[in-house]
Structure 1
Amino acid sequence: MNGRPENWERRLHLAAHPFAYPLLRGVARRGPVVRVPGVGVVVNDASLARGVLMDGETFRKDGPGSPGDLWTPVLGPSVLLNMEGDAHRALRRRLTDLFTPAYADELCARVLAGPLDRLRARLADGAPVDLVDAARVMAGAVISEVIGLDLSTEREFRRLFEQGERVVSTVSLRTRRLSPSQIRRARAVLDPLGDAAAKAYAAGDETTVMGRMRTLGLSEGEARGAAGAFFLTGTETVATFTPRLIALLADSGLLADAAEPDGFLDRAIDEAMRFTTPTPVMLRSVHRAAAIGGAAVRPGDRVLIATHNCCRDLGPFDPGRPHPPELRRLWFGAGPHFCIGYPLAAAQIRRVARTVLDAAPLRIAGRSAARNVLIPTYRRLTVRAAGGAR
């Protein structure tokens, strides 16, 4: 490897978080568990992080300094990302079959057929393609289908993505609560989406996500909350990752390998997820006295799982290296809060990446880093198929 993957990824992180990222990486050198004033108890070790995530009784998402503090005023009290205990387990059981791999793949195949055909044609013509914009359009198309919106054009999909981006951009790595004005702005975006989700829920069409929620026994309020949670947590994560995946493969000289139908792409996606860590930190609130790796924590303490530090500890980007068990898809969580939308994200990423890679040989024609965003990403990543028509 030539080192460029690490260099560009560092640029993305520094552009997104010029002060917080050096602090985060500096804390990693202080040990597996570090108490940082004003931040909380930072966990930098994958095994310890997995232990925290698996213990939903001690380390919760609904206490002070947790995601519940952040999102409950916007999404309501009954969404998976701000629940614990029996209520969380009951809702999780009802949602278990919502995004099966087969259903997720069928949904993406149907929804992305048109956008992917247009992307494929542009690449075949040798036209420059901004993968950042393309990924946003794809993410907007999929989440539109999930919520039950009646959107059909790339302009509409792009605008939907931008609405979510505006909400998420109000959050930084240090944010504990949204201000009243931030809550009002978020509700102005999310309430109409909730109305659309409620309409799809009432229609009860079992081919739609909201209709399936009704069949699975969720209430209308739970369906509205789930739609908002999917919109906030899934759209930007997938859209920001896909250009970074292609850039990592290009900078490592592995685009040709990823284009081969031998399973390499799936391994490359997992490794790129590990290396980019689309969820760089996860938050928990301590519910009862405990210890993390010998470090005592008290009720009310805020635990910041530095997922990025845990994942980067394995080393440079290398799709040929297996992941140890404690690291397996840690970026999607673990235990009772493992991301329920993972199959949908994986299906979307795989289809978009395969379409791009099928146009190989590719070259990166230009790129720049996005600034002041929550999830590090490219502002622009332009690629061109070297073998396309002119």
Structure 2
Amino acid sequence: MNWERRLYLAAHPLAYPLLRGAARRGPAVRVPGVGVVVNDASAARAVLMDGETFRKDGPGSPGDLWTPVLGPSVLLNMEGEAHRALRRRLTELFTPSSTEELCARVLAEPLARLRDRLARGATVDLVAFSRVVAGTVIGEVIGLDVRDEADVRALFERGERIAATVSLRTRRLSPSQVARAREVLDPLGGIAARSYAAGDESTVMGRMRALGLAPDEARGAAAAFFLTGTETVATLIPRLVALLADSGTLGRVAADPGGLLDRAIEEAMRVATPTPVMLRSVHRAAEVGGVAVRPGDRILIATHNCCQADGAFDLDRSHPPELRRLWFGAGPHFCIGYPLAMAEIRLVARTLLAAAPLRITRRAAARGVLIPTYRRLAVRTERAPA
């Protein structure tokens, strides 16, 4: 059994076999108690591109999950002109150049420590290090000054506690789950609000104020960034390194990171699928993958099934147009944080590849998590210590 399958089975021992079983039922299939499961990339993209028919603010959608926690005005649960207007303003915060500058600045110290540890021949747990990376960057985004690695890990664990309350079948959070999520997020919202009020345009929150976002919009956006901007990066980095090592292509990418690294990251994201499922609510009658749907139906896009149809990790694979970056969504809700995630992953990957050849010395799958990941992935360089 390959390690990617182990990760999914460890995270979702019951739901994962059912999800993969649905893939054998055709482009889409109605599953009692779950909704209409979409397994085909073309059908999934068609759903994601049609924000009028398939929405994030109806029954069974992400809005059902997150509105009680975050309020009504965050990108995760908005549609229509209000969503487009907010997204236009927020997009300016996450351009490729601004995200590269932000990550290079705030990750300089952690990456220097990583280089030093690898050069000394020490073993590095990429799971723990990736959490530091993700926590450091998202702390900067929401205006939290986190310098100590223990504080950064604690910040990451706050988001992990919220994500752990959600399963592949969850339709809405219980009152106690909502209360626990607010308990975690409210202090961070207060920090974000103070950063917004200070108005320093060198900070993300200060730029939100300059762009005309209202205080509640900025606070909600910060909470949404925190929920969505940590685990994607933290889970992908160890899996990227493992996929390269297991496929025997780590040395090849290390020899030509300028030409191959982005291709390797995109292929790793296809295989790992950091967003295994996406939810939508049907607003008007339509057809999805040959299945008739009606208002109120729940659509579960099995992104993982769509991506796995192209087979195992292959550095030389070209992604067809319908699959391109589907794991980040498509259409009006394509992930606004995509440039930020790529900037983080590139910086860490380049640092690791510069220490190649690398050897995985120990690994274990994580259990009880929403996004499948490693509990530990230890690596060390096979170069002679400096």
- TM-score normalized by structure 2? 0.99
Q: 2: distance between equivalents of 1:149 and 1:388?
A: 39
- Whole-angstrom distance in 2 between the partners of 1:143 and 1:96: 16
Instruction: Verify: 1:154 aligned to 2:158, yes or no.
Output: no
Provide the secondary structure at the position in 1 that maps to 2:230: helix
Match of 1:285 in 2: 281
The alpha carbon displacement at 1:217 in A equals 1.0
Q: Which residue of 310, 326, 334 corresponds with 2:306?
A: 310
Aligned to 1:386: 382
The answer on whether the counterparts of 1:140 and 1:161 sit within 8 Å (CA) in structure 2 is yes
CA distance in 1, matches of 2:34, 2:303: 15
| Matching residue of 2:63 | 68
Secondary structure at the aligned position of 2:45 is classed as helix
Summarize deviations over 1:138-189 as a string: whole Å, max 9, x none.
Answer: 1110000000012211111111001110111110000011111111111011
Q: 1:95 to 1:109 in 2, by over 3 A?
A: same
The CA deviation string for residues 90-139 of structure 1, in whole angstroms up to 9 with x for no partner, is 11111121100000000000000000000110011110100000000111
SS in 1 for 2:229: helix
Aligned partner of 1:181 in structure 2 is 176
The answer on 1:114 being equivalent to 2:120 is: no
Q: CA RMSD in A?
A: 0.9
- CA deviation digits over 1:37-67, x for unaligned, max 9? 0000001000110000000000000000000
Name the TM-score, length of structure 1 as normaliser. 0.98
Give the superposition deviation at 1:253: 0.7
Query: Quick check: 338-347 or 93-102, which moved more?
Result: 93-102
Runs of 4+ in 1 over 3 A off after TM superposition: none
What percentage of residue pairs aligned between the two structures are identical? 77
**In 2: Cα distance, 1:305 partner to 1:262 partner:** 33
| Partner in structure 2 of residue 3 of structure 1 | none
The SS at the match of 1:346 is helix
CA–CA separation in structure 2 for the residues paired with 1:205 and 1:76: 25
SS of equivalent residue, structure 2 residue 287: strand
Pair 1:58-2:57 in alignment: no
1:300 partnered with 2:305: no
Of 263, 278, 283, 1:267 maps to 263
1:246 aligns with 2:247: no
Residue 317 of structure 2 corresponds to which residue in structure 1? 321
Letter in 2 for 1:61: K
Correspondent of 1:217 among 194, 212, 216: 212
Unaligned runs of 5+ in 1: 1-5
The residue type equivalent to 2:342 in the other structure is A
- Which residue of the partner structure matches residue 85 of structure 2? 90
Task: Name the SS for the 1:96 alignment partner.
Answer: helix
Please tell me whether the aligned partners of residues 278 and 331 of structure 1 are also in contact (alpha carbons under 8 angstroms): yes
Q: How does 1:232-243 map to 2 (within 5 A)?
A: 232-243=227-238
The 1:388–1:160 alpha-carbon spacing in structure 2 relative to 1, beyond 3 Å, is farther
What is the alpha-carbon distance in structure 2 between the residues aligned to residue 196 and residue 258 of structure 1? 40
Measured in 1, the distance between the counterparts of 2:289 and 2:263 equals 31
Name the counterpart of 2:364: 368
* Count of residues paired in the alignment: 385
Q: 5+ residue gaps in structure 2? A: none
1:103 paired with 2:98, answer yes
Q: Give yes or no for the alignment of 1:137 onto 2:140.
A: no
Question: What amino acid does structure 2 have at the position aligned with 1:304?
Answer: L
State the alpha-carbon separation in 1 of the partners of residues 363 and 36 from structure 2.
36
Deviation at 1:293, TM superposition (A): 2.6
Is this contact kept in 2: 1:123–1:388, CA < 8 A? Answer: no
Query: Is 2:315 aligned against 1:342?
Result: no
User: Which one of 69, 78, 97 corresponds to residue 73 of structure 2?
Assistant: 78
CA distance in 2, matches of 1:294, 1:143: 41
Per-residue deviation, residues 228-262 of structure 1 (Å, max 9, x unmatched): 10111110111011000000000011111111234
Aligned counterparts of 2:200 and 2:70: Cα–Cα separation in 1? 24
Task: In structure 2, give the amino acid aligned to 1:326.
Answer: E
Residue 125 of structure 1 aligns to which amino acid in structure 2? R
Q: For the residues of structure 1 that align with 2:322 and 2:132, how far apart are their CA atoms?
A: 34
Amino acid at match of 1:297: V
